[in-house]
Chain A
Amino acid sequence: MGPLQKKHLIITGLIILAGIFPFINQNDYWLHILTLSFIWMIAVYGLNLLAGYTGYLSLAHAGFFAIGAYSLGLLTVKAGINYWAALVLSCVITSVIGFLIGLISLRTREHFFAIYTLCVGYVIYLVIDKWDSLTGGVRGLIGIPAPSNIGPLSFESTLSQYYLVLFFLLATIFVMYRIVHSLSGRTFIAIRNSEELAGTIGISTMKNKLVVFVLSTFFAGLAGALYASFIRFIGPDIGYTTVIFDLLTYLLVGGIGTLAGPVVGTMLIVSVSQSLQFLQDYRMLIFGPLLTLIIIFYPRGIVGFFSDWYRKRQSTKLQSQKKKQVKSNMDDEDLHEDRVKEG
């Protein structure tokens, strides 16, 4: 079996596992946690496309997550629009705001970009917190409806929501896979590696960066909207900087700039935090240094570590095979020479 088939088998296996998980584990609590982590994964994928593949560390994504969540909440609760229309609209709203902010922020680079987006994120948080008449301020927004029925399908139960979110997650991963392996994906990586070089070979860096930024805010908005309809209550806290730090931790631990990273990191950190429940507010006592240590020693996270290890093993295998081949070739030649001598 080739490595590609092996990979496909693992992925299919994981999808089936995620599909039948609710039947193996009847515990509603775990289903809830898993659904939540799927939602985070979607947001982390959005961040990964921007920070991992294009090299722009945006610290405003908690803000975009909150914009998605509040758009859905306000559209369904205050405007009374149908859920699915609101879902689409909230993604569009987030992307449009993302486009406008991207247009300005992407003129800055490196540190300036990180600081700029950090401030943008904080402004979004402050606006949500202070704009009492629209967002309800610190009291938050309650009574957000669950997704409305599509024909016979209802999304009231935790189980059905689990499948709904899983569907969106798989769609996100599929889209990411296609993007990263397309010419545009290569273009993004070229920009990450050297923006000047990318420019000299005729890549319009600004256009591409803007596309990435809008895409990544789109996914943040989608995750936010799903979060709002799943939790049914949102407060300004979801836009605070701690959320972006959480997302960054998931991404970094899993592996920044890898396709499997967001899934691995989120699963690992969420399950570890669940078993460290007693720590609650102090979990950063562990995750903070973890973040720092990982970036020093394994900058590409767990997934990067394993793929490096796998590649190394593969290449040593290949080398030993080559050695064997060379050896047998040499033996053949020896025989040949002997025969010549005999002849």
Chain B
Amino acid sequence: MEILTQQLFNGLTIGSVYSLVALGLTLVYGILHIPNFAHGALYMLGAYVTLTSMLLWDFNYWLAISISIIVVGLLGVLMERLVFNPLKNAPPIHDKIAAIGILLFLEAFAQLMWGADYRSMSTPYGEVVNIFGTTVTMQRVLINVGAVIVMITLYLFLKKTIVGSTIIAMAQNRKGAHLVGINTNKVAMLTFLISGALAAIAASLSAPINLVFPGMGHLVILKAFVIIILGGMGSIPGAIVGGYILGFSESLGATYISNDYKDIIAFVLLIIILSFKPQGLFSKEGV
């Protein structure tokens, strides 16, 4: 029983991180219909920027995270301006390849800057607490609470502010949004900013319980793709629910099936889903 609650909590933690990454991915997909393969690289850079500002300039954890959010968010904007905007009218295969190009560049860049070693990030919240009979580190609690706060903030921003509703408008219909006077270029940039910021938050929160290395984004981004297919491409609640589903199935699978093959679970899940529903789980017919 204790193992089960422990694993459920683990699943919740992993799921929170996945949800945050998938949210950024799904936002960009909803607006521009690009599967942004470079999103994993943004996640990786987010962790590195936080780590560097903590080690190099001795910033505290929260300040380091804010710097990381700004840096990675701006990087996202830059990507939109330099790469995806010129490719607006190109065939869809071009966006994907361009995104792969960015991914390769950013990974090589990280390796050049920080080396290929695995690093660990220290956290001021390492103490162990006891919740409902299970012992967990404060950092894991922080991940869960932080993720929920970010999700609620994002939800309120999208639903309750004018700027947020322009994003939703553009996701619904780009031309229509343009017609009613929304500056679609600005909205696209804003979306990339939010997407980059979400990746930075997810990476900075989860880095202390994982390791930081140039390839750390690979698996996470692949799983985020699985999640947004699970939850419907472009759907925000879908990304959150999908993230938690994957988190739970992974942590339970690792305990009760096989630790070696736990990374395969996500992909097998995806292969099964797409085999039966080629358009994704919650797609609208005919889109």
Contact with B along A274-289 (1 / 0, CB 8 A): 0000000111110111
Given A55-B93, A111-B96, verify A241-B104 contact (CB < 8 Å). Answer: no
Nearest A residue (CB) for B223: A119
A291 in contact (CB, < 8 A): yes
A252 in contact (CB, < 8 A): yes
A81 to chain B, nearest CB (A): 30
A87 in contact (CB, < 8 A): no
Given A118-B225, A119-B271, A123-B264, verify A282-B108 contact (CB < 8 Å). Answer: yes
B146 to chain A, nearest CB (A): 28
Given A112-B229, A112-B278, A288-B105, verify A299-B267 contact (CB < 8 Å). Answer: no
Cβ contact within 8 Å between B111 and A282: yes
Cβ contact within 8 Å between B97 and A295: yes
A190 CA / B106 CA spacing, docked (Å)? 36
Cβ contact within 8 Å between A289 and B101: yes
Nearest B residue (CB) for A285: B108
A284 CA / B271 CA spacing, docked (Å)? 30
Contact with A along B75-89 (1 / 0, CB 8 A): 000000001001100
* Residues of chain B contacted by A291 (CB below 8 angstroms): 97-98, 100-101, 104
Chain B: number of interface residues, binned into ranges: 35 or more
Contacting residues of chain B (95-133) with chain A, CB-CB under 8 angstroms: 96-98, 100-109, 111-112, 116
Contact with B along A94-111 (1 / 0, CB 8 A): 000000000011011111
Chain A: number of interface residues, binned into ranges: 35 or more
Contacting residues of chain A (40-79) with chain B, CB-CB under 8 angstroms: 51, 55, 57
Contacting residues of chain A (258-298) with chain B, CB-CB under 8 angstroms: 281-285, 287-293, 295-296
A72 CA / B176 CA spacing, docked (Å)? 56
Cβ contact within 8 Å between B102 and A288: yes
A122 CA / B267 CA spacing, docked (Å)? 8
B233 in contact (CB, < 8 A): yes
Which of A51, A115, A118, A288 is close to B101, meaning CB atoms less than 8 Å apart? A288
Nearest A residue (CB) for B214: A281
Which of B87, B108, B264, B270 is close to A295, meaning CB atoms less than 8 Å apart? B87
Cβ contact within 8 Å between A282 and B112: yes
Given A122-B222, A288-B105, A289-B105, verify A111-B100 contact (CB < 8 Å). Answer: no
B97 to chain A, nearest CB (A): 5
B174 in contact (CB, < 8 A): no
Using a CB–CB cutoff of 8 Å, the interface residues on chain A facing chain B are 51, 55, 57, 104-105, 107-112, 114-116, 118-120, 122-123, 126-127, 130, 241, 245, 248, 252, 281-285, 287-293, 295-296, 299
